[in-house]
A and B are shown apart, each in its own frame.
Chain A
Amino acid sequence: MASYKMHLLVCGGTGCKSSDSMLIVDKLNEELKSHNLVDEAKVVMTGCFGFCEQGPIIKVIPDNTFYTKVKPEDAKEIIEEHVIKGRSVKRLLYVDPKEHARVSDSKHMGFYKKQIRIALRNCGFLDPENIEESIAREAYGALGKVLSEYTPQQTIDKIKKSGLRGRGGGGFPTGLKWELAAKSVAEQKYVICNADEGDPGAFMDRSVLEGDPHSVLEAMAICGYSIGASKGLIYIRAEYPLAIKRLKIAIAQAMEYGLLGKDIMGTGFDFEIELRYGAGAFVCGEETALIHSMEGERGEPTFKPPFPAVSGYLKKPSNVNNVETFACVPVIILKGEEWFSSIGTEKSKGTKVFALAGKINNVGLIEVPMGITLREIIYEIGGGIKNGKKFKAVQTGGPSGGCLTEKHLETPIDYDNLIAAGSMMGSGGMIVMDEDDCMVQIAKFFLEFTVEESCGKCSPCRIGNKRLHEILTKITEGKGTMEDLELLKSLSNVIKDTALCGLGQTSPNPVLSTLNNFWDEYLEHVVEGKCRAGQCTALKKYIIDPEKCIGCTACARACPVNAIEGDKKMPHEIKQELCIKCGSCYEKCKFNAISIK
């Protein structure tokens, strides 16, 4: 085998693949061939590096040079300069948003410095379509160890001691969940992997499945051995074609190598995994709805208990875990539960993957130790707020969560602190907002999502959320009253207390949390008819300054509703009752005479 001196890792995650990475791989290979370098350097298509906004990305090994926004036509220069002459292609290097300087390699990038990669350890490292690379990285080593050295109960104890908690949102202790399923007596049990990932903006599960499918398959088998199940099912949304493709390849390869299937590694343990496809409804991520959907029933939640551990898929005991939860399991077995529990806070161990988005410089997927502060995430890893604006809030937990503000910047982030701050971990969405965001609009945005996604089975969620949305709309239109604010609060609390499933029980969180943290902004909308962020169109007021207006008539001609009056060369005036706030006049005026109040 050729001993390569260089590996060119090209991101092949969904984010980057949609922007040309296949073509880049082909071009690189062509260039290597034409320079007779095919034995010197090899091109590997890996999973996501997490830095999607800067994609497509190429990382050059061994020097860790990190090229961003690479185009297929850059391949020639990369081969001729970097591979042949050892000089990096400066113009493709990442530019630090704070220092405005190019950064030589990934080890010196603020984005990666504070990250600890456990669930994402192989994403951007391995070729996910090649099981041999995974095996070289100890894939199935944990399964082999468990099968030949531990009893099911010993395995469960290890997971319990590691302190691993569910990454799908609720944070339920994983070892305990396994133990409950193990204790249920039945001939057939199921291990279910929840890959529904319905939280808008979250894509960590997709990245794990695309970048390191074997870790999830291996963990499901370990879980199967622990609880006494020989069958695993992955519930994945059909909108994830690349993840599905890589899962299928991975399952077929693992079967071929005897790492899944009958009599795994000669231990007598059988385990098979199949895929089940979801249509992408948010509520189908809720475990009871997910199970009904897999059974071919309507994807609607049912009351718990019975919990899936007792009566799940086809009424058989089932253990449901999230993709990221599973991805942590093999490492815990290999490196030990003490190692895992040494990372994190007292009650939240290990790391969490967050999808950093919104008004932040470094958008992407990050994995950080539990207990890191919001400040470190936003200013060190995230590189600060875009365009030097002022930080306002971060929404965590997606449509079920709430916002954290300036006063939470130093709070160590873990399950319990987020709840105490009126938010939640959720699946790990983290949307950053700046001074230009209106918090009433933000609450309305998330409510829109829940109204759309409510399955309609119970009335608090189906009707209540609609009313909440109407009131919020009223406020953004400048028609809100003080009674509306009171109603928002009381209605939210009723929905929280009476909805059937987690979707409805958490849907008022964005409203309650913005009411709590940004009460004065709500008041401004209602009492002063003002939106400080200028996002609520109806509350905008365009005014012409008679001192500055020279009467050029440009604005009057631009106004689609003839709301501007005034004689030529005389100051003009906007008839507020006619104005539809389209902003045309504001853009047309060359004398800065029009302002927005």
Chain B
Amino acid sequence: MEKIKNLADLRKMKDNLQNKIDLREKSDSPEAIVQIKVGMATSGIASGAKEVMNYMIEELDKRNIKGLVLQVGDMGYCYAEPTIEVTRPGESPVVFGYVDIAKANEIIEKYIKNGELLDGILPANYESIK
């Protein structure tokens, strides 16, 4: 191991190691960042929820958006799988149905980034997941 030579070195190292604990830091104060819950019951997985979840995790990271992607069980919308629930900091959750990769991209660009509402929002008269 090469020794850390100065403070800048240490800071660079910290940034490079950040991903080791990033997930934990975000979960520590989830209310401060956008939270995305992906319904992953059997029906959700069959309809492609897993791909949507992976896409969300990777894209948020690539587009430099601080967000937390959570996997949850049945969301009670079997008819509209895959479903995801998005909560922007300080706002009420919004649920989107029939989310595929293209839709996920739109949700990130329009709703998550700018709070613009778009098609595919499911009625909010459901039991909250948590």
Q: B-contacting residues of A (Cβ < 8 Å)?
A: 1, 3-7, 9, 61-64, 85-88, 104-105, 107, 125-126, 132-133, 135-138, 140-141, 144-145, 147-148, 256-259, 265-267
Contact = CB atoms under 8 A, between A and B. Distances in A.
B11 to A, nearest CB: 7
Interface in B61-87: 61, 68-74
Contacts of A136: 14, 17-18, 20-21
Looking at chain B's contact residues, the main secondary structure is: helix
Contacts of A138: 14
Nearest to A87: B73
B21 A133 contact: yes
A88 B130 CA distance: 11
A86 B19 contact: no
A132 B10 contact: no
Contacts of B11: 141, 144
Interface string B1-30: 101111101110110011111011111101
Contacts of A85: 40-42, 73
B57 interface: yes
Nearest to B13: A135
Interface residues of B, number: 40
A5 B71 contact: yes
A62 B26 contact: yes
A70 B91 CA distance: 35
Identify the interface centre among A61, A105, A107: most chain B CB within 10 Å of its CB: A61
B27 A61 contact: yes
Given A136-B14, A144-B10, A7 B72 contact: no
B26 A1 contact: no
Interface of B: 1, 3-7, 9-11, 13-14, 17-21, 23-28, 30, 38-42, 53, 57-58, 61, 68-74, 130
Nearest to B57: A5
| 6 closest residue pairs by CB, A with B | A258-B3, A144-B7, A86-B71, A136-B17, A87-B73, A86-B40
A290 to B, nearest CB: 33
B20 A133 contact: yes
B3 A3 contact: no
Nearest to A253: B1
B7 A126 contact: no
Given A7-B24, A86-B73, A136-B21, A148 B42 contact: no
Given A62-B70, A87-B41, A265-B7, 18 more contacts: A3-B58, A5-B57, A6-B23, A62-B23, A87-B74, A105-B130, A107-B30, A125-B24, A126-B21, A132-B20, A133-B20, A133-B21, A137-B21, A141-B10, A148-B7, A256-B1, A258-B3, A258-B4
Contacts of B69: 5, 62
A90 B36 CA distance: 22
A86 B13 contact: no
Contacts of B14: 135-136, 138, 141
23 contacts: A3-B19, A5-B23, A5-B53, A6-B71, A62-B26, A63-B27, A85-B41, A88-B73, A126-B21, A133-B17, A133-B20, A135-B10, A135-B13, A136-B17, A136-B20, A141-B10, A141-B11, A144-B6, A144-B10, A256-B1, A258-B3, A265-B5, A265-B9
A270 to B, nearest CB: 13
Given A105-B130, A135-B10, A265 B20 contact: no
Given A87-B73, A105-B130, A265-B10, A61 B24 contact: yes
A265 B27 contact: no
Nearest to B6: A266
